[in-house]
Amino acid sequence: MKITVLAGGLSPERDVSLSSGALIAASLIRSGHKVALADVYVGVDIKNGIDALFVSNPPAPYRVSEAEPDLEKIIAENGGRRQLIGPGILELCAAADVVFVAMHGAMGENGQLQATLDNYGIRYTGSGYDGSLLAMDKELTKKLLAAEGVATPPGICGKSREMTAARVLSEVGLPCVVKPCDCGSSVGVSIVHNEGELESALNLAASFGGRVVVEKKICGREFSMGVLDGQTLPAIEIIPKSGFYDYKNKYQGGATEEICPADLTDDEAARMSRAALRVFGILRLRGYARIDFILDSQSGECYCLEANTLPGMTPTSLLPQEAAAVGIGYDELCERIAELALR
């Protein structure tokens, strides 16, 4: 097949996406496909023909830095252009048999890209525009899950200017978790233990968007469970060596201990699996996804934190580890995700 892999974009998770995209492209090439890897924001030069962009030579790996990228600098390097889809991208996608979406955050994960590809009749991997929107907007996710009886940490959501420290202390209390409504990779997330930390946490979350989510901090073990083609994968337990599972601990090798399959009782594993499949259905997800959970150390309740419609595919990412635990290697995983899109 001819496969276009879309990565990059104008998102705080840009570097994670470029790392995932390079690995996915190399994997698909090893499986015998012709692959065009493109930065959806930067675009491609198609003056010499589109077919020449589909190659059989794997790209070099891309390393994720410890801090989020400087998006304004990237915009300046591209002539100040703020259009989210660069020149030649839609033509490149239309020329492929399928588009492998290796995006993370913002336009690539909130449904905008998916809706655009739908309008052009282009096949792509992962969830559609509706599921992408519902999962990316943490406020919508929480409301839908709560309405369907899926446990999620209690909290409040609202416009950043309405989310005052006094309101948080009154309605949620401490400790709490403060995060932007529509970012992934723990970008802009803070765990607040005292009043002195609260104001800066709210300001940080607000800097990544107009809406903020504040949740009661659930004390317990953290897990993630992938869903692939209607089946759950083994849960993976996430144990950061310091702090919490933030951007740095997610993407720097050795910063977090990850145990897969996780040490769960049969009952705990079954409850988590049922919850993951329910979340997958409620949010109208498609193909594959990864659902994050906290297992309350006191009550034993399994709380759903969020759903990831485009899980990371970096060397430290969770979904490839979960797939490997049931004998699905990285190349087979990429191949299966691409095949699911063709269905």
The catalytic site residues sit at: 13, 185, 251, 290, 292, 306, 308, 312
Distance between CA 149 and CA 262 in Å, rounded?
A: 25
> Rg of the chain over CA atoms, in angstroms?
20
Tokens of 9: 């974009």
Quick check: helix, strand or coil at residue 2? strand
How long a stretch of residues is the chain?
Answer: 343
Nearest of 71, 89, 96 to residue 11 by alpha carbon? 71
Nearest of 272, 11, 307, 295 to residue 138 by alpha carbon? 307
Element spanning 28, H or E: helix 14-30
DSSP string, 181-227: TT--TTTT-EEE-SHHHHHHHHHHHHTT-SEEEEEEPPPEEEEEEEE
Nearest of 67, 19, 65, 58 to residue 36 by alpha carbon? 58
Distance between CA 93 and CA 126 in Å, rounded?
A: 15
Residues 45, 15, 179: CA angle, nearest 5 degrees: 130
Distance linking the first and last C-alpha atoms of the chain = 14
**Residue 59 to residues 12, 33, 207, 236: CA-CA distances in angstroms?**
22, 14, 34, 29
Residues 39, 97, 12: CA angle, nearest 5 degrees: 25
- Strands (E) in 33-136, as ranges, are 34-39, 98-101
